[in-house]
Amino acid sequence: MTSSGNAQKDSNVAQMLEELFVQSESSSEAWHEQAQTEELILPLDIDVVEEFMELEPLQDYRWFSRENLELVTGLYRALTIELEADEVDINQLKFFLLPILDRFCFDRAQRAASFLTPRPTPQRNALGAQWNGGQPLSWDPSAIPDAVLARMAEFRVKVQANRPDDFAHAFMVGGPNAGYQVHATYGQWFVEIARW
């Protein structure tokens, strides 16, 4: 098959997946079951993982998006080539390693978002680790409506039930005047769970 034929096939697959996401929550759960049967796993060389312990969470990680896996596979191959060079350049290694870790976090955020209806788009946190003054979650009966608690509980249960992903961290941002939001964070990526 030609590369244009592969591109068309990939485009058709992407369109079909997007249509699945737009459907109701029950069909979303069916899609998750179907995705679990497909082995979207990046085979990692144990020597590379020992060299870069940051890659350890990627072992046996089942990728949510084939597109993310394909990008990471290319980056991983380039990383291994850099490791085999006569003179290893740490900047070259970081050039390939950091986007692998970032795409891993993005993939996790995409999976988390797929459990929410309506489905939010994962966002990159432009403020780095500060999370815009976000506070770790703490229950306040006067500040958090029951509907928000129910949505957060449902999200937690769905994400936990569909490993290999965990809840990561949840932060509450905003204030009484501007309104509140709860974000699940995955590295530099976040998904808005609730807003009030």
Q: Summarize pLDDT for 4-15 with one digit per residue, the tens.
A: 554 555 555 445
Ramachandran assignment for 111, one of left (phi > 0), alpha (psi -120 to 50 degrees), beta (any other): alpha
Bridge pairing between strands 189-195 and 123-124: antiparallel
**What's the pLDDT at 181?**
85
Say whether pLDDT at 129 is over 90: no
Closest to 118 measured CA to CA, from 162, 169, 155, 172: 155
Q: How far apart are CA 23 and CA 7, in angstroms?
A: 25
**Predicted local confidence at residue 12, as pLDDT:** 53
Residues 6+ apart with CB under 8 A from 119: 21, 113
Average pLDDT over residues 162-186: 74
Amino acid present at 159: V
Would you place residue 86 in the very low, low, confident or very high pLDDT band (cuts 50, 70, 90)? confident
169 vs 83, residue with greater confidence: 83
Can you tell me the distance from the alpha carbon of 94 to that of 90, in angstroms, rounded to the nearest whole number? 6
Give the pLDDT band of residue 117 (cuts 50, 70, 90). Answer: confident
**pLDDT, the chain, mean:** 78
Q: State the sign of the Cα–Cα–Cα–Cα dihedral 77, 80, 86, 92.
A: positive
